[in-house]
Amino acid sequence: MIASHDGTTIVPAPAPVPLTPRHRPRLRHRSLWGEIWRWSLTALLFTFIAAAIAGAFLIGAIYRQARIDGARPVEAIVVLGTAQYNGAPGPVFRARLDRALTLWDEGYAPLLVVTGGKMPGDGYTEAEAAWTYLTEAGVPPAAIISENAAGDTWESMQGVAALLAPLGVDEVIVVSDGFHLFRSRLMARDVGLRTWGSPAAESPIRTGGGGELTYILREAAAVAAHLWQTRVGSPAGFLASPSDA
């Protein structure tokens, strides 16, 4: 204690006690392989989520396109071929041809383009069966252009573009089953055609049918295959030809 001049006693404050520093835990550092594994899993999860979102949007787009009739005046109507039996169009093909015939009768376009080759053992191509069907329905042969070699939709669109280019035609309506129109229009745009779609509403494969979801899922896979082969996987670009579903 310390006495002041006025007689009061001053008690000095105790000296501060130094604080003991807390023990800091050492941070554990991941190994290089641990970091690689962690980021690989993150990238895989991100890819899976992105693919799921893209797939959902694609399925929605195919579903929506199947329900839209975009028919408008154009320069040609393209009918995509499918099964024929000894020169007679099958039920699905006939529905497509009937829809195209209606559009032609209503004056949407002066030309009809029919497509499709033949399977081994067939006596007729799909295009030949379509030509016969349309001419018997009253369409003048001069109004029909036939693409007789294609084995799938992509080959059909390439063949159609090659046939129409010398005529200066690039605006078309594509007629097919509703579920098939999204991919058909995508491929038509890829070969330089401006295109609109018109579904064959009377086809056995109709919108709202019991098997529609199966067809849409298959189409989504075919669209993905086309995009991969024409945008990513083929060094020759659009020369790749994904097979039809």
Q: Which of 45-59, 70-84, 131-145 shows the lowest per-residue confidence on average (mean pLDDT)?
A: 45-59
pTM of the model: 0.78
Mean of the per-residue pLDDT values of the chain: 86
- List, for residues 164-208, the tens digit of each pLDDT value: 999 999 999 999 999 999 999 999 999 999 999 999 999 988 777
Lowest mean pLDDT of 13-22, 59-68, 175-184, 218-227, name the range.
Answer: 13-22
* 109 within some domain: yes
Confidence of residue 237 (pLDDT cuts 50, 70, 90): very low
d(CA 11, CA 213): 91
What is the pLDDT at residue 22? 60
In a domain, 42, yes or no: no
At residue 236, does pLDDT exceed 50? no
Q: Is residue 20 part of a domain?
A: no
Q: What angle do CA 103, 108, 110 make, to 5 degrees?
A: 100
Q: Is residue 146 part of a domain?
A: yes
- Who contacts 120 (Cβ-Cβ below 8 Å, separation ≥6)? none
Instruction: Please state, in angstroms and rounded to a whole number, the distance separating the CA atoms of residues 195 and 172.
Output: 5
Domain harbouring 101, CATH code: 3.40.50.620
**Domain extent at residue 97:** 65-239
Is 60 a member of any domain? no
Number of domains in the chain: 1
25 belongs to a structural domain: no
- 27 within domain boundaries: no
Q: 40-73, pLDDT tens digit by residue?
A: 888 888 887 877 887 888 899 899 999 999 999 9
pLDDT of residue 213: 83
Q: Report if residue 245 sits inside a domain.
A: no
